[in-house]
Amino acid sequence: MSETDPTSSASGITWGLEDLYAEPSAGLISKYQAQAAEAAQAFERDYRGKVARLDPEALAQALARMEEILSTSLRPQIYAQLRFAADTGLPSLGAALESATQKHSAIRRRLIFFELEWLALEEDQAASKMAHSALGRYEHFLRTLRLQRPHVLGEAEEKVMELLSNTGRNAFVRLFDEVSNGIRCRLAHDGGERDVSLQEALAVLHRPDRVARERAAHSITEALRDHQRVLTFILNTVVQEHADNDQLRRRPHPMHGRNMENEVDQKSVEALLSSCEARMGLVSRYYNLKRRLLGLERLYDYDRYAPISAHLPVCDFSQGREIVLSAYRAFSPKMADIAQLFFENNWIDAELRPGKSGGAFCSATLPEIHPYVLLNYTDTLRDVMTLAHELGHGVHQYLSRPLGLFQFHAPLITSEAASTFGEMLVFRDLMARNDEPRVRLGLLCAKLEDNFATIFRQAVMTRFEEGLHQARRSQGELASETIGELWMAANRSMFGDSLEFTEGYALWWSYIPHFIHSPFYVYAYSYGQLLVLALLGRYEAEGEDFVPKYLDLLAAGNSDSPDALLSRMDLDVTDPNFWDLGLSVLDKMVGEAEALAESVGLA
């Protein structure tokens, strides 16, 4: 019996990057980079020392020029990033990404003066300029930029930090990607063994065969153990760099920089995390039910994602496409039409192959282009949900493109709401398609587990990050065992006595990219999922009248703060009781699962 399959139905589903460069060549890309460098030099000659004297119309013209320069400079870097994600094992692609990153960094250093001169303006002078209609397109960008005023350094220091990031943090991020995406796990296959990627091994944890799950978990642990020394060093280095940066920028705590990007304060984040922690009992309540449904005396970490029902269908990529587009179309034909573009124009890379970046993401690229989606499709309903999730990002980014480079990237907290909303549309559609109680129970349990992973697990990982950063600052370089202890303590708080962790699980922090790529990113998932549950409640109450409001929210991108954008939909996320709305929905879903289990005699 095989624990993994050599291919999936997504074989051959790869993206085409022609919209970035129709006929890519080193010479053409170098030409673009040279043009951007010349434009940046001219910009510096024209505006250095003059920002304070620019009237609103002239300031808007300068910002438009800067957008064009950065877009020209970013295009080679984005192209290199996507090619590297498609094959992290090819050294030439890593070298091309490094070269593009350095050249873009050089251009950024030339433009730093402009932002610093803008921040040097007194508040009344800046407010007067921003109030002018000529700057309407850039108002929120300029306003949020000024939030960084207490934390910026002098121009010379900012240039040095930009320069050193390429051989500092950015280099360790790339090293992590190359190491983690090169990890191979040995699984049983056709009477022998076969090396598979970490992503393929993780997918086995969602299969009904418990022996296969246990072997896969053991193989993952051993593969991570083989790389512990370098992965531990990478994490220590990135976390220390974060601490050094916070000290230089006078940030009061490790999460402060991320909170500023998300335009939320620590009090709001703490209210979110505390609300999740107060309802952790839902998790142990559900997993005790799952243990009974699976007929097990003990539930181990490798049993968490075991399917409740063997009746859940396998979904090949074409079926997954139909399910997602159908669910999107039932909500909004416009949303489905945009999502369909990704399939028709090869904006998706879904096949499994060695060296490909693990997990899934949607790259917004540039406003004048379009987003690209990467995932690793293994023919499960979970992959259908992942497809719906990333296309939710894609629709969001596609709709916000008219806002331009500085304002089309939504903050993480509303960005993740858009993606998880797409997931929930698909889940509701799947439930509506199936009347068989066992299938409905399997779907409901799978969605509950996704919600627990998106809400409670991300809250747990945020607490782990808090403990990790505090320990690194107080204790110095941390041993792998110390990091593992922090990881296990955080995870045990989620499951209580409902699940038993194997010893090897203490190493499983080491493959999670968010801790390296985007420190404190993960609470945005909790925020987004609970927000989505509130949005779905509003959709149920308002019906079709809700749809244009939702699409307007997506199209608004980062043109206003999340609080302000959501207040247009009569949602007050500053209310400490707001998060209980979504958590109460989860409570009802657990109750529905308990009732379904009893109805089919499984509880």
206: which residues sit within 8 A by CB, 6+ positions away?
305, 306, 307, 380, 382
Residue 270 has what pLDDT? 92
Domains contained in the chain, CATH given: 26-167 (1.20.140.70), 176-309+455-517 (1.10.1370.20), 317-447+524-555 (1.10.1370.40)
Instruction: Work out the pLDDT band at 4, boundaries 50, 70, 90.
Output: very low
Neighbours of 368 (CB within 10 A): 12
477: which residues sit within 8 A by CB, 6+ positions away?
236, 240
Neighbours of 333 (CB within 10 A): 11
| H/E run at residue 465 | helix 456-475
> Could you tell me which residues are beta bridge partners of residue 348?
373
Q: 430 near 323, Cβ under 8 Å?
A: yes
- 185-199, 374-388, 442-456, 535-549: which has the minimum mean pLDDT? 185-199
Q: 491 near 501, Cβ under 8 Å?
A: yes
Measure the CA dihedral 253/258/264/265, to 10°. Answer: 0
Closest CA to 230 of 182, 185, 187: 182
Residue 581 has what pLDDT? 84
Residue 358 has what pLDDT? 83
Instruction: Indicate if the pLDDT at residue 564 is higher than 50.
Output: yes
pTM equals: 0.81
Closest CA to 562 of 409, 359, 443: 409
Closest CA to 513 of 525, 505, 521: 521
Instruction: Work out the pLDDT band at 251, boundaries 50, 70, 90.
Output: very high
Average pLDDT, rounded, for the chain: 92
Q: Tell me the average pLDDT across 432-455.
A: 89
Which residue would you say has higher pLDDT here, 371 or 312? 371
Which residue would you say has higher pLDDT here, 49 or 443? 49
* DSSP structure class, residue 313: P
Instruction: Indicate if the pLDDT at residue 234 is higher than 60.
Output: yes
Q: Tell me the average pLDDT across 369-375.
A: 97
Instruction: Indicate if the pLDDT at residue 6 is higher than 60.
Output: no
pLDDT tens, position by position, 483-532 = 999 999 999 999 999 999 999 999 999 999 999 999 999 999 899 889 88
Residue 310 has what pLDDT? 60
What is the number of alpha carbons within 13 Å of residue 153 lying toward its C-beta? Answer: 15
Alpha carbon separation from 370 to 147, 209, 365, 395 (Å, rounded): 29, 41, 6, 10
Instruction: Indicate if the pLDDT at residue 2 is higher than 50.
Output: no
| H/E run at residue 186 | strand 184-189
Q: 520 near 272, Cβ under 8 Å?
A: no
Alpha carbon separation from 86 to 13, 224, 353 (Å, rounded): 12, 22, 9
Q: 88 near 94, Cβ under 8 Å?
A: yes
pLDDT tens, position by position, 155-173 = 999 889 888 888 889 999 9
| For helices 281-294 and 437-454, angle between their N-to-C axes, nearest 10 degrees | 140
